[in-house]
Amino acid sequence: GQQLNQSPQSMFIQEGEDVSMNCTSSSIFNTWLWYKQDPGEGPVLLIALYKAGELTSNGRLTAQFGITRKDSFLNISASIPSDVGIYFCAGQHRNDGNQFYFGTGTSLTVIP
């Protein structure tokens, strides 16, 4: 299957700081998704990207679909304690049907 490398694996930041994480793949994708998972819950969709170069925001979150179609990044500005969780990227190539490939996750800890 496709390999998605997500980095960093974990982050410990002070409240108010900005956060940046990224995801790279070994092949091109047509869709990138970013999810957040809180403890004991399922992943919740944050942002969906469908076009190379696309930059999309959702509140303090901004994600971009890399121009090479092999990467994506997620930025969180002015972090707050409730941003704590695990963030996953997921990519899909339309020739693979509806299957998404998930990154290994970035664990974010925000220190008040």
> Where on the chain is the footprint of another protein (CB under 8 A)?
30-31, 33, 35, 40-45, 48, 50, 88, 90, 92, 94, 97-100, 102, 104-105
Nearer to another protein, 50 or 111 (CB): 50
Nearer to another protein, 56 or 77 (CB): 56
How many angstroms separate the CA atoms of 78 and 31, rounded?
Answer: 27
Query: Closest distance between another protein and the C-beta of residue 72, in Å?
Result: 14
Please, which residues have CB within 8 angstroms of residue 82's CB and are 6 or more apart in sequence? none
Nearer to another protein, 44 or 67 (CB): 44
Query: Closest distance between another protein and the C-beta of residue 19, in Å?
Result: 20
Query: Closest distance between another protein and the C-beta of residue 100, in Å?
Result: 6
CA angle, 92 as apex, 87 and 46 as ends, to 5°?
35
Nearer to another protein, 84 or 102 (CB): 102
**107, 60, 33, 45: CA torsion to nearest 10:** 80
